[in-house]
Every structure is written in C-alpha cells, then in structure tokens.
Chains A and B, each alone.
Chain A
Amino acid sequence: MLDGRSMIRRRAGLRLWLSAGWLALLCLAALLAPWVAPKDPLAQDLFLGRLPPFWVAGAEPGYWLGTDSLGRDVLSRIIHGARVALMVALIAGTITCLIGATLGLLAGFLRGWVDMAISRLIDIWMAFPPVLFSILLIAVLGPGLISIIIAIVVIDWTRFARVVRAEAMAQGAMDYVASARVAGRGRIGTMIREILPNVLPTIVVLLTLEMGIAVIVEAILSFVNLSISTDDPTWGGMIAEGRTSIHQAWWVLVFPLITLFLTVLSFSQLGEGLKDRFDPVLR
C-alpha cells in the first residue's frame, strides 16, 4: 500500500529563495550592467576621490557606495565586476563539472584498469599545490578570461572526479544495477540510465559549490594581478586596490568583499537547497 511516505511534500525553504534571489539579482545586474550602473565604472575624477558611502557625512549624491582613490564609483564597479565573476562561475564551473563527473563516473562504475588509470591521475594531480599551479598556468597562458577558466578546470576537475567516483561505486554495488545487467543492459547503458540519475543530486551540489569556488579563484587571481586586463573592474582587483587605502577609505575594500562573500555563500546554499528539493530519497 502507498503509505505516508508518499505524502511528504517538501517546501522550497527560505535559504533556497534567499540564495536564488541574490544570484538572480546578480545575474540581472551583470546582464544589464551598462544600463543599471549609475556611473561609468572606469571614469576617473580625482576631485571626487575617496568619497564615503551615502550615509556618511561628506558623501556626494549619486555615488551610493562611495568612490575609490581615483574617484571611480564603487557600486558601478561592483556591478560591472559581476560580469566577470558570473561568467567565470558558469563557464568554468560547468566545464569542470562535465569533465570531472564523466571521469569519476567511468572510474567508479567500470572499475578495473579504467579506475586504476583515472585514480592514479587524480592522485598525481592533487599532489600539486593548487595556488602555485594556477599562477604557473596563468603565467604560461598569459592573463585573460580564457586562461582563468582553463586554470580552474585544470585544477578542480579532481574534486568532481573523486566524489562522483565514490558515489558511482556505491551505487554500482546496489541490486538494481545487477537486475539491469541481468535484463541485458550494456555497461554504458546501465551507467547512464541507472547510475547517473542517482549521482545527479551530488553532482548538482558539487556544481554549485564549484561555481562559488570559481568566483573565489578569480578573485584571488585578480588580487595577485593575474586575472583579466586591469582595465575591466573585477571584485578581486577592487579588493586588492582597496587594501592599500583601508585606513582612509574602508568602503573600497568592504563592499566588494561583502558581495563576494554573499555570492559564494549563495552558490553553496543554492546547491544544498536544490538537493533537498530534488532528491527523491532524502539520503
């Protein structure tokens, strides 16, 4: 008989709404940056340098979050910085996920020499210190958006591969996989139809985490001046510049930092919230 278990309806939850809301707002800001940003993010005006945010005495109307030492509007730069951050998050996160999850699935389900080869590769890969590895990669590839994305993919695919491999291995030992094999499904068919749907919730969580990590990595690389050209505003670049004038103009550092923090937090909470919602069995 169908029992109470079928009656459970899970609500989307506050954290899913809050995190999705913040990310949606950010996406809109990034897409519409030229129209919604109150000022030109690159326009300098040395007479308007280090203006405080609007609630502090001495603020100038129209410069909501103040200006940096060159007189550039902080809010407009944050809005334009969202473009780079989200682009890196989406593109690098997705590619990393596709490569890592595919390799992990193959290793975990096919086992044997495939697993041996992929697992050894992961072990060797993870022995490299990631920050040095990425700086080295950017140095070789040259700074730029593509280089950052490549660096993130090259460094972080192992995160997906390891987790998905373990999960696929656990699922592969289940009786339903044996039944599918007895019924005559091939190995790849079984992997895609039986294993993948059960690993998917894990992959989604990892993907959102990875997007947050990608935003951080981009910020770190901007901070050490290895990101895209210094003309385009990036959150990491703003934090680096703000650091030098923290005692005179804290807002130049603090607002991009808060944005970064909220974004990374939202990505991870979005993943958790989606998992709760779409996992058929709460594991």
Chain B
Amino acid sequence: MTFLSIRNLSVRLKKGPPLLRRVSLDVAAGEVRGLVGESGAGKSMIGKAVLGILPPSVEVTGGEILLDGTDLLRLPPAERRRRIGATCALIPQDPLTALNPSHRIGPQITDRLVDILGWTRADATARARDLLAEVQIPDPDRVLRAYPHELSGGMRQRILIASAFAAEPKLIVADEPTTALDVTVQKQILKLIAGMQARHGTALLFVTHDLGVVSKVCQRLSVLYSGMVVEDSSVTDFFAAPRHAYSAALLAATPKYTDPAAGLLPVPDAVIDAVRAEVAAHDRGAA
C-alpha cells in the first residue's frame, strides 16, 4: 500500500531556475526509498517539500504530494502542518544544530508529544526513556536532563533518531543522517536506523549521496540529476545492472576499497551531455 505518492512535483527558486522537474515517486508503507544524486540534484528538496519546510526563497509550481491519499499542497497550512506532525518526522543532517542548545534533551523529545499530540507528561517521559534505551544510550535518565552541548555528535544523532520515532510516525525523512558524523560512528548509526525502521515498520525516505549506504539500508531508490528522476528501480536491480547511463556512471564513480589502484572515476563528459539533453527534452515535454 502506497503511503507517500509524489506526482509531477515541480519546485523552483522564486523567479529563478527549477530545482525539481516533475518528480514522481512512491513510498509504500514500511518501505525504505533512497534518494541519490550529486550535490544540487534536488534530493533534499524532495524531503523538505514533503515535510513542508521548504526555504522561503523556494516555491512549489506544480504537482501533488499525496500523503495517505490526501494532497498536502491543497490543504490549508494549519491542517497540513497538523497532518505532517501526526504522521511524519525528520532525522536531520547535522546533529550539532538539530537540537536546541537552550533546552534540555528531555523536553525536546517530550514537548511535541505533550503540546501537539496531547500526551500526558508522564507518558511522554516514559516513552522518551524507552526510546533512548532502544537507541542504546546508557543512563537515559541522566541524558534526559543534559543539555545538547554536553553530548557528543554520535549521541546527539541517536537522540534525534529516538525523537523521530517518538510518535510512531508512518514516514520518516532522513536527510543525509550520517554525513556530518565520523566514519566510525556512521556505520553504527546506519545499523541503528535500519534496525529501528524494521522494528517499527516505518516508511523511510533516505536522502544520501552515498550508494554504499543505499545498498545497506534501502529497498528502492530514485536517482536524480538536476531535479529530474533519471532512474527509479529496486536496489537489487540497480546494483545488478543500472538501467540509465548516468546511474551506471555514478555507480562506477564510487571508490572501491577492493581495488585502490583503480583510483577515482569521474562521470564521463559524454554521459553528462546526454543526461543534460534529456533534462532539456523533459522540460520541453512539460511545456
């Protein structure tokens, strides 16, 4: 059953170039979809558009975002926010700026449960403690009373993951959740997210530029170039044989630890030219 369905979503800078060009993709309930592409390909924009946190300089120019069958873009802002808050959550990129430095950890997890979803304070605190234990944080009670600056980056990312799962959302957008972390911590965090996702059955939109991460966590993936989806396939199919020349080049560009002598392969110019022509044709098709 499809939980999130994006249909022909177009987003652009206000009076500027397009950032997303008629993007369509589906995320089934409990499914993990990877969004990959180079910097500026628009992968984070998709997550932001779904969660309604696009920057003020950006506007949606067309398309639909169907969340459980309802088009978010047609809802009044208050209703849209209520619906997103009740069913979605975000695991942000940078754990160092994703917790409010002025508040203790406990209230940062529980306040939204209490203020917005109407839980009692005791229930919310118990829930927060359970979740911190689930993300393997030792001494949860002490951490709940700590300020963010007292904790390490890996700890903070664990807290953010716990917090994202707090209200049992149907969909979580993970916006490059391991990019800002130390390589040794990255692996643990990935395992943690994958484990939590499997246990809670949450659909996940996983934004990353790391194909290695996709192969470990995702079931399906969308490859983006310049705001256009160039390939949408299952992860098994993709790693066996990518269908699009650009995705194949992207896959070939991934450094291989087994063959360090191969060095780094850039995406060939011919492939870039071809995919650019394709983007232009895609834009003409819209007009």
Give A residues with C-beta under 8 Å from B.
1-3, 5-6, 111-112, 174-176, 178-186, 193-194, 197-198, 200, 280-281
Contact = CB atoms under 8 A, between A and B. Distances in A.
Contacts of A5: 149-151
A183 B116 contact: yes
B103 A184 contact: no
Contacts of A2: 139, 142-143, 146, 150-151
B100 A197 contact: yes
Interface of B: 48, 51-53, 56, 78, 81-82, 84-86, 88-90, 92-94, 97-103, 108, 111-112, 115-116, 138-139, 142-143, 146-147, 149-152, 155, 160, 163
A184 B100 contact: no
23 contacts: A1-B138, A2-B139, A2-B150, A2-B151, A5-B150, A6-B147, A111-B56, A112-B56, A175-B93, A175-B94, A176-B98, A176-B99, A176-B100, A178-B48, A178-B98, A181-B81, A182-B90, A183-B112, A183-B116, A185-B116, A186-B78, A280-B102, A280-B149
B152 A175 contact: no
Contacts of A179: 90, 92, 98, 160, 163
Given A182-B90, A184-B116, A1 B101 contact: no
Contacts of B82: 184
Contacts of B108: 176
B156 to A, nearest CB: 11
Contact of B101 (A112, A184, A281): A281
Nearest to B81: A184
A3 B150 contact: yes
A37 to B, nearest CB: 44
A186 B99 CA distance: 18
Contacts of B150: 2-3, 5-6
Contacts of B51: 178, 181-182
A6 B146 CA distance: 8
A231 to B, nearest CB: 48
A198 B100 contact: yes
A183 B83 CA distance: 10
A1 B100 CA distance: 19
A6 B160 CA distance: 19
Query: Is the contact region of chain A dominated by helix, strand, or loop, or is it mixed?
Result: helix
Contacts of A280: 101-102, 147, 149
Contacts of B90: 178-179, 182
B57 to A, nearest CB: 9
Contacts of B111: 193
Nearest to B95: A175
A167 B111 CA distance: 24
A137 B209 CA distance: 60
Contacts of A186: 78, 81
A184 B56 contact: no
A176 B152 contact: no
A186 B81 CA distance: 8
A6 B142 CA distance: 11
A186 B52 CA distance: 12
B56 A174 contact: no
A180 B93 CA distance: 15
Contact of B53 (A3, A178, A281): A178
B78 to A, nearest CB: 8
Contacts of B149: 5, 280-281
Contact of A178 (B78, B92, B139): B92
A23 B272 CA distance: 69
Contacts of B85: 182-184
Q: Looking at A3, A6, A280, which has the most chain B CB atoms within 10 Å of its CB?
A: A280
B152 A182 contact: no
A197 B102 contact: yes
A186 B78 CA distance: 8
A280 B86 CA distance: 31
Given A2-B151, A179-B92, A280-B149, 6 more contacts: A2-B143, A175-B94, A176-B108, A178-B51, A179-B90, A186-B81
A70 B34 CA distance: 86
